[in-house]
A and B are shown apart, each in its own frame.
Chain A
Amino acid sequence: METRQNRITAFEKDSILLSINECIQCGTCSGSCPLADEMDHGPREVFSLIKDGFLEKALISNTIWLCVSCYACSSRCPREIPVTDIIYSLRQMAVKHGLVPKKIKMPHLFKAFDRQVRSGKRISEARIAFFYGLRHPGDVIQALPLSLKLLKRKRVEL
């Protein structure tokens, strides 16, 4: 396991992440974010945490995993900071350093997806739902009525 100091050094080498220094804390990103209401901190606050040296707090927040990747923040940022790309870098960093809290679900969906791409080059939604469902059966069970409707319309590929 790397130390906190090592992490910050690695962080400083990443040119995308360095652009956080350009942030003027205007909040356009948080105001544009469709899921900001669900987040521990909006993107503006995450940037503030990082600038103040609380990188780890930013990495374990649900914020970086709730980003839907819509790029509204990136296209609106007055300082042209690639906010969404920074979120991707933070996700990769959190995974690499084992800083993903267990209760956060999105990484499990991403892993189910990633696993299929690596093994068979293409994905099927049904198989992703299956492997994700092994960890979160409730989410998949509540989607069963929908799955049946999709099956009836030949919209499921196994």
Chain B
Amino acid sequence: MGLSYLFFPGCSYETAAGYRESAEAVCSAVEVELEEIPEWNCCGASAVFSLDRAEGVWLAARLAALAGRLGRLEIVSGCNGCISALKKGKKILLRDKGLLEQVRERLKKESLKLDQADIKELRVRHLLEVFVHDVPAQSWAKGSFHCKFRVAPYYGCLFSRPDGEIDDTEHPMLLESFIRLLGLDVVEHSMGTACCGASHSLPHKTAVSGLVERVIRGIQIKNADLAAVICPLCQFNLDSIQANFDLPPLPILYFTQVAGLGMGLPVSSLGLNKLLVPLKEG
């Protein structure tokens, strides 16, 4: 019997380089069902929260209420930004009763409701946590391990910050565990939680190029074949900004694509053709 989760894809999932394709292929192979939240909205990311706190909280609250309508107390996502925004909203709603009341009034217009108890119970998890903690370990060993990539794990900044709820804030190990479950080699390096520059890449191109160059250099010095990432913004910045400087190319794959390769799923099902820095067959 398979596992089933309520899934919040987030706005970047569709345009991400093969995230949806590979996540669907891998989930189907390990019998994980991702049920998309109907009528979901954007999490607001750092943008909405920066301009208007109440509006940022409202976006998170609406997602929680949509989950509640289906009787679900758990939301799974594949985006660090979405997860962080949802957790931030949850934290503020538990502290600020006035704002919760405001939000509840607004939810009524959509016949949605949200109790404090529901918010308290709500769990927000990364798809990576599901893969490592919930999916039986032997499911990952199904493949023939015909690829032997040396994989550098990259979490980005937000995976377990600020409070270390999922993993250590400085040296998380979940992605390492996952890469090993797949039978691939983990490349140890010190850039795992260094920042990719996030949404600043458009207005502050030069500064963000510097951050990305540091990350790529720090990974390449350890002879990695590719990096595995868990967030669409990280993937986009690390993949696209490499064109700005002169280092050997480092393919940046989603952990779901790496899983597909490790399990020996058909390469054509993993959306690898969407990468800007192409993966050379290993």
Q: What is the interface of chain A, defined by CB distance below 8 A to chain B?
A: 34-35, 37-38, 66, 68-72, 74-76, 82, 84, 88-89, 91-92, 95, 105-111, 113-114, 116-118, 121-125, 129, 132, 136, 139-140, 142-143, 146, 149-150, 153-157
Q: A38-B207, A122-B11 are in contact. Are A68 and B49 (CB under 8 A)?
A: no
Q: A75-B169, A123-B11 are in contact. Are A106 and B44 (CB under 8 A)?
A: no
Can you list 29 A-B contacts (CB < 8 A)?
Answer: A34-B194, A34-B211, A38-B207, A66-B204, A68-B157, A68-B200, A69-B46, A71-B161, A75-B163, A75-B164, A75-B169, A88-B49, A88-B53, A107-B51, A110-B46, A110-B50, A113-B45, A114-B48, A117-B42, A121-B42, A123-B11, A125-B12, A129-B202, A132-B202, A136-B203, A150-B15, A150-B240, A153-B276, A157-B15
Minimum CB distance partner of B156 in chain A: A70
A66 to B59, CA, bound (A): 24
* A residues in contact with B246, CB < 8 Å: none
A91 to B55, CA, bound (A): 14
Minimum CB distance partner of A113 in chain B: B47
A116 to B162, CA, bound (A): 28
Partner of B195, one of A34, A105, A125: A34
* B residues in contact with A116, CB < 8 Å: 42
Q: Does B52 have its Cβ within 8 Å of any Cβ on chain A?
A: yes
Task: Please tell me the size bucket of the interface on B.
Answer: 35 or more
* CB–CB B49/A109 < 8 A: no
A75 to B193, CA, bound (A): 12
> Which one of B47, B169, B195 has the greatest number of beta carbons of chain A within 10 Å?
B47
A122 to B12, CA, bound (A): 10
Q: What is the interface of chain B, defined by CB distance below 8 A to chain A?
A: 11-12, 14-17, 39-42, 44-53, 55, 59, 157-158, 161-164, 169-170, 193-195, 197-200, 202-205, 207, 211, 240, 243, 273-276
* CB–CB B274/A109 < 8 A: no
* CB–CB B53/A92 < 8 A: yes
* CB–CB B243/A68 < 8 A: no
* CB–CB B41/A75 < 8 A: no
* CB–CB B205/A71 < 8 A: no
* CB–CB B203/A122 < 8 A: no
* CB–CB A75/B162 < 8 A: yes
* CB–CB A114/B198 < 8 A: no
Within the complex, the shortest CB–CB distance from A84 to chain B, in Å, comes to 7
* CB–CB A92/B51 < 8 A: yes
* CB–CB A111/B161 < 8 A: no
Within the complex, the shortest CB–CB distance from B281 to chain A, in Å, comes to 19
* B residues in contact with A140, CB < 8 Å: 202
* A residues in contact with B200, CB < 8 Å: 35, 66, 68, 106
* B residues in contact with A155, CB < 8 Å: 15-17, 274
- 12 extra interchain contacts, Cβ-Cβ under 8 A, other than A110-B47, A117-B48? A66-B200, A68-B195, A75-B170, A82-B162, A109-B199, A110-B46, A114-B55, A117-B41, A122-B41, A124-B11, A125-B15, A153-B276
* A residues in contact with B17, CB < 8 Å: 153, 155
